[in-house]
Amino acid sequence: MVRTRFAPSPTGHLHIGGLRTAIFNYFFAKANIGEFLLRIEDTDRERSRKEYTKAILEGLKWCSIDWDDICYQSKRQDIYEKYLKELFDKGLAYRCYCSKERLEKLKQEQIEKGENPHYDGHCRNLKEEIKDKDFVVRIKLPSEDIDFKDVVHGDMHFSYKEFDDFIIRRSDGSFMYNFTNVIDDIECGITHVIRGDDHLTNTAKQVVLYRLFSKSAPVYAHVPMILGEDKTRLSKRHGAQSVLEYRDMGILPDALVNYLIRLGWSYGDKEIFTKDELIELFNIENLNNSAAVFNPEKLLWVNAEHIKLMSPKKLLEYAKPFMDRRCFDYENNYLIRAVETMQPRAATLKELASGMLFYCVSPKEYEQKGAKKYLKESVKEPLVFLLERLKEADFNSEDELKKAFEETMEKFELKMVKIAQPVRIGLTGRSAAPGIYEMLMILGKDESISRIERVIDAIPFRLS
């Protein structure tokens, strides 16, 4: 069975780079009828925070990235100790008592000689334990080059001389990332690891550990990092907010998932995917080997497309956190009809909620640019005539509403825009709004007539 995992460290919020990694692993597992595991790598006692763990879980749940199992490294100390004992028993690990001062002096001397800083193996062959002195644990790095195949980058080769006897347990007893990562992947039966290519050097070290434990490493796929539009590594200045901040901006979770999975993976020219389509189509062979550029405008476009695709009923539930509380005085069916008219016009849930406010609250003022252009003395008489026709019309019949407008246009020899725009401004306060007939039908006869009477009273419009 294919088993993948996402292994965030709770030392900060879940950002889109991490979410993309989770998405790749999740959809690969589901596309292969496998399992997706979540592992919280909280062994860094100083920097790990419970509030970050909570935010990571909340962000994944919001995006419907559901895990089949979850584990916390802080609760697996006994497992790591067992594997560490195995290395000691095989003579493949040792205690290092070197002080920070000695290591810093060694580093400076190596830099002065033009060497890359590395541990010199000072404690490698110590026979006796030194009592009452702090120590870290290092592996005895084999004198063998490190090779592995990467799905994205192909054959990878590292000389063992590029590494030293790296630390696997800190002096406070907590274990290092590379060690716990390997042990957990072994214990959980992880078959595939998809992560950023900034981990390639870590992978080389981890392959060493797999060899020391006589275990096979997973299949690796290292994807290039996400870049900002200036082609530098993505950061907050590029808009790289936490996942939950995108939620608060009014981005749909399916849209964010869709956008991020396309930053590093492609399926022909197809841009918009549902979750079911991704489960059906995702594969690691189509992962790209070039860095993707994060484009906020493209994200908004993808979000707008998902808004159009969603059922109005479901979209209303997503939009409710952004809606004016006065809208909650109306029945759901009324709001669903209102949402439906805004779907083609909104890029975010915030825009949708703001745009439909006029369905709940009569405009108290009119957009000055549009009002100055359309609320002229010459349109007052046609509007009064239209109003009388509308009073006689059935507002459940679009044909009758059209007839009222057509009669007005014919009598006064006006184009639709000359009569529809003043009505649109009266109904919404704006000159850009949904179709005139659908708005009239949703608002109903009494409310529509009241708003049209008010806009007639405002003619001719004068700038305040």
pLDDT tens figures, 343-352 = 999 999 999 9
State the fold for domain 1-71+224-309: Rossmann fold (3.40.50)
Angle (deg, nearest 10), helices 332-342 and 312-319? 100
The DSSP secondary-structure symbol of 152 reads T
Pairing of strands 292-293, 226-227: parallel
Q: Reply yes or no on whether the pLDDT at 66 is more than 90.
A: yes
What residue segments make up the domains of the chain, in order of their start?
A: 1-71+224-309, 77-223, 311-357, 362-464
Calculate the alpha carbon distances from 363 to 47, 319, 427, 444 in Å. 51, 21, 7, 16
pLDDT > 70: what percent of the chain? 99
Q: Please give the single-letter amino acid code of residue 63.
A: C
Q: What is the pLDDT of residue 464?
A: 60
Calculate the alpha carbon distances from 195 to 20, 284, 400, 452 in Å. 9, 12, 60, 59
Q: What is the pLDDT of residue 231?
A: 85
Q: Reply yes or no on whether the pLDDT at 234 is more than 90.
A: no
Residue 169 forms beta bridges with which residues? 137, 175
Q: Reply yes or no on whether the pLDDT at 258 is more than 80.
A: yes
Q: What is the pLDDT of residue 46?
A: 81
Mean pLDDT of 50-59: 95
Q: What is the mean pLDDT of the chain?
A: 95
Q: What are phi and psi of 42, to 5 degrees?
A: -110, 40
- Residues 213 and 227: their CA atoms lie apart, in Å, by 37
Angle (deg, nearest 10), helices 16-31 and 253-261? 80
Mean pLDDT of 249-255: 97
Pairing of strands 136-139, 167-169: antiparallel
Q: What distance lies between CA 438 and its chain's CA centroid?
A: 34
- Residues 215 and 209: their CA atoms lie apart, in Å, by 9
What is the DSSP code string of 102-137? HHHHHHHHHHHTTPPP----TTTT--S--TT---EE
Q: What is the pLDDT of residue 462?
A: 81
Residue with tokens 């459940």: 396
Pairing of strands 167-169, 226-227: unpaired
Q: What is the pLDDT of residue 239?
A: 64
Calculate the alpha carbon distances from 265 to 162, 223, 380, 442, 450 in Å. 31, 9, 58, 43, 54
Q: What share of the chain is helix, strand, coil (3-state, %, to 5)?
A: 50, 10, 35
Q: Reply yes or no on whether the pLDDT at 238 is more than 80.
A: no
| CATH architecture for residues 77-223 | 3-Layer(aba) Sandwich (3.40)
Query: How many C-beta atoms surround the C-beta of residue 198 within 10 A?
Result: 12
- Residues 443 and 330: their CA atoms lie apart, in Å, by 11
State the fold for domain 311-357: Helicase, Ruva Protein; domain 3 (1.10.8)
**Cα dihedral angle (431, 433, 436, 441), rounded to 10 degrees?**
-130
Q: Which run of H or of E encompasses 62? A: helix 50-62
Q: What is the pLDDT of residue 135?
A: 97
The DSSP secondary-structure symbol of 89 reads H
Q: What is the pLDDT of residue 80?
A: 97
State the fold for domain 362-464: Arc Repressor Mutant, subunit A (1.10.10)
Query: Which positions are catalytic?
Result: 236
Query: How many C-beta atoms surround the C-beta of residue 132 within 10 A?
Result: 4
Least Cα distance to 162 among 95, 97, 208 occurs for 208
405-432 pLDDT, tens digit per residue, is 999 999 999 999 999 999 999 999 999 9
Q: What is the pLDDT of residue 241?
A: 76
Q: Reply yes or no on whether the pLDDT at 463 is more than 90.
A: no
Per CATH, 77-223 and 311-357 having the same topology is answered no
203 contacts 231 by C-beta, under 8 angstroms: no
Task: State the first-to-last Cα distance of the chain, in angstroms, to the nearest integer.
Answer: 70
In the chain, count of helices (H) and strands (E)?
A: 19, 12
Mean pLDDT of 383-398: 97
6 contacts 25 by C-beta, under 8 angstroms: yes
352 contacts 339 by C-beta, under 8 angstroms: yes
CA 446-452-456 angle, 5° bins: 145
75-112 pLDDT, tens digit per residue, is 999 999 999 999 999 999 999 999 999 999 999 999 99
- Residues 327 and 16: their CA atoms lie apart, in Å, by 33
